[in-house]
Structure 1
């Protein structure tokens, strides 16, 4: 099976590091023209340089824009008016008790984790429909189904992405455009490494062992019994973004290591 995305233009939001950067890498390796996005100019430029050093022949661009605002989304849309592949990856997370989470934090999570995907999908889907081909992928989370008690606000936004992706898939029925959600579980990204840094320093364990210990404590239903690597999540996204996935739409595709205890 060979995935060929030559001639396709793809945007991965929030792609300066972590899962987003891995997705951008996978899409570029498959031949797509890739737009990397971050909030800051310098970090976005460094991510483009890093990927260019790995893939000298790839066609890459960077657009810095804060997608937690309507103005930031408009800036990105003006810079990139047409896409074949949209990966709504940008997101924020962090534990916080429900009773200590004010309206402002709820609104911030909704703006970044939900409205960015709403705004960009609304802008790009009509062009995809017109050309008769397109792919939209929403990065949800196992937390959409397994709502964490210490991050209810985050879980709600990821559940919203499941509803949004399913509804948009129905809205685009018969157009040649597919819309899907991908649900990662605990994944060894830079954010998780930072979260576990003190534990690694104190215990002397490797980051992989520390992550495994965290998974077994926080997500004991994990079947792989470790954190996934960012490439393992990216592989699913690249497939869903490809012509090979033409019969897959409206789906919630789990890359959670079996954390969610369900056969459906």
Structure 2
């Protein structure tokens, strides 16, 4: 399959590292002009430089903005135009017991994980509909369907993303615009690598082995019995953004390694 996005312009939120950077790279390799986003100028500039080094000749700009607030989203929107592909990847997660998570925690997760996508979709979808083509993707999580007892606040925010994506797909039905969710499972991102660094040093095992053991301890239903790479997750997202995926909308597409024990 030859995915070509040479005439398209994509915004990938939280794309200075991890899954977001892998998505930005995949879209750039397919020819899309890409807007990289992160919270700080330093991280954004570094990601833009890295992307240009890895995809020579790519069309890339960076916009720093904190998407957990309405003013932050507004500042991002002020720096971009003519977006055809929106990948809502901005999100936070951290284990915290339900009885210790106050309103401030719930508000932070709601605004970062859910309202950032609401605000960006509300601003960018109408022009996609007018042009008769567009792609919106919410990067959710298998935790949306498999709510973790130690991160209920996170799981609820991810379930909300699925509902939002499905509703938006129906709202723009017949327009040529698709809206989908992609649900990664355990993924070997930069953050996970940092988290496991001490265990790698202590045991002398490879990072991949340590993370695989962690996956089987905490997600024993995994069928691939390892973490996915950020590239494996990005591959699904890039496909959903392609012209070839025009009949896929309103869907929740799993890249969870089979963690969710379900045939649907």
Q: In 1, Cα distance between the equivalents of 2:110 and 2:211?
A: 28
User: CA RMSD, aligned part only?
Assistant: 0.6
Q: In 2, Cα distance between the equivalents of 1:185 and 1:89?
A: 14
Q: In 1, Cα distance between the equivalents of 2:81 and 2:70?
A: 15
Return the TM-score normalized by structure 1.
0.99
Q: In 1, Cα distance between the equivalents of 2:123 and 2:83?
A: 10
Shifted more, 234-243 versus 200-209: the winner is: 200-209
Q: Determine the structure 2 residue equivalent to 1:188.
A: 188
Measured after TM superposition, the shift of residue 82 of structure 1 is 2.2
Q: How does 1:56-205 map to 2 (within 5 A)?
A: 56-205=56-205
**Alignment pair present for 1:55 and 2:51:** no
Q: In 2, Cα distance between the equivalents of 1:150 and 1:80?
A: 37
Q: In 2, Cα distance between the equivalents of 1:59 and 1:226?
A: 34
Q: Determine the structure 2 residue equivalent to 1:43.
A: 43
Could you give the per-residue CA deviations for residues 69-114 of structure 1, whole angstroms, max 9, x where no partner exists?
A: 1001001111113200000001100100001111101111111100
Could you give the per-residue CA deviations for residues 7-57 of structure 1, whole angstroms, max 9, x where no partner exists?
A: 100000000000000000000000000000000001100000001011121
Could you give the per-residue CA deviations for residues 166-207 of structure 1, whole angstroms, max 9, x where no partner exists?
A: 000000100000000000000000111122122112111111
Measured after TM superposition, the shift of residue 140 of structure 1 is 0.5
Shifted more, 135-144 versus 78-87: the winner is: 78-87
Measured after TM superposition, the shift of residue 236 of structure 1 is 0.3
Q: In 1, Cα distance between the equivalents of 2:163 and 2:16?
A: 27
Q: In 2, Cα distance between the equivalents of 1:241 and 1:68?
A: 24
Return the TM-score normalized by structure 2.
0.99
In structure 1, stretches of 5+ residues that fail to align are: none
Q: How many residues end up aligned between the 2 structures?
A: 264
Runs (4+) of structure 1 exceeding 3 A deviation are none
Q: How does 1:212-231 map to 2 (within 5 A)?
A: 212-231=212-231
What SS is found at the alignment partner of 1:62? strand
